[in-house]
Amino acid sequence: MTRILTAVVFTLLFNGQVWAQASVTTQAYAEIIAALTATENAQLNFGRFYPGLTGGEVIISPDGVKSALGSVMLSGGNSSPGRFTITGAPDATFSIQLPEGPVQLLHQGSSQTMIVNEWTSDPPAGYSSGTLNEGSEIVSVGASLVVGSIENNPVGIYTGSFNLTFAYN
């Protein structure tokens, strides 16, 4: 019995066929998607206000709520968060990168400035910020405007620019 079992084992070992293998032919898959684009629908606009004796802040939230701190008094006029339409591949996720620091607004007619900081967005900034439902999503951006006294920030229009980055995840 031992000789038969030994013969069977040697036959299987030296037969040259390996029964513990399998091979398969399969396919690879790749999809190129549309480039991610951003279109500005509305500029970030802090609207009209009076700085008062000591100044303060004007705050625009991503949902468009305008508020003031310090001696700043809000007035009529248009104000709005920045609004952007992001388009790309349907159901893809994307990230939002807001400005890393403050941005200056320069008075048209003098060298006086105001600072924009405390950036916020809806959806919130960061990795996997939003999803392109049906290939697009609206992003709203708010911030705080630091306002000096009327002596430091004379009457007039202040403008500046800032960068946002939108990227696929």
Domains of the chain, each with CATH number or no CATH: 35-168 (2.60.40)
Please determine, for residue 15, whether its predicted confidence score (pLDDT) is greater than 70. no
Note the pLDDT of residue 20. Answer: 82
In angstroms, the CA 166 to CA 36 distance is 8
Q: Mind listing the pLDDT tens digit for each residue in 75-119?
A: 988 999 999 999 999 999 999 999 999 999 999 989 999 999 999
- Structure confidence by residue, pLDDT tens digits, 39-83: 999 999 999 999 999 999 999 999 999 999 999 999 988 999 999
Query: In the predicted model, what is the mean pLDDT of residues 21-37?
Result: 93
* Run of H or E residues at 83: strand 82-87
Distance of CA 60 to the CA centre of its chain: 17
Whether 62 and 138 have beta carbons less than 8 Å apart is answered as: no
User: Can you tell me the mean pLDDT for 30-46?
Assistant: 95
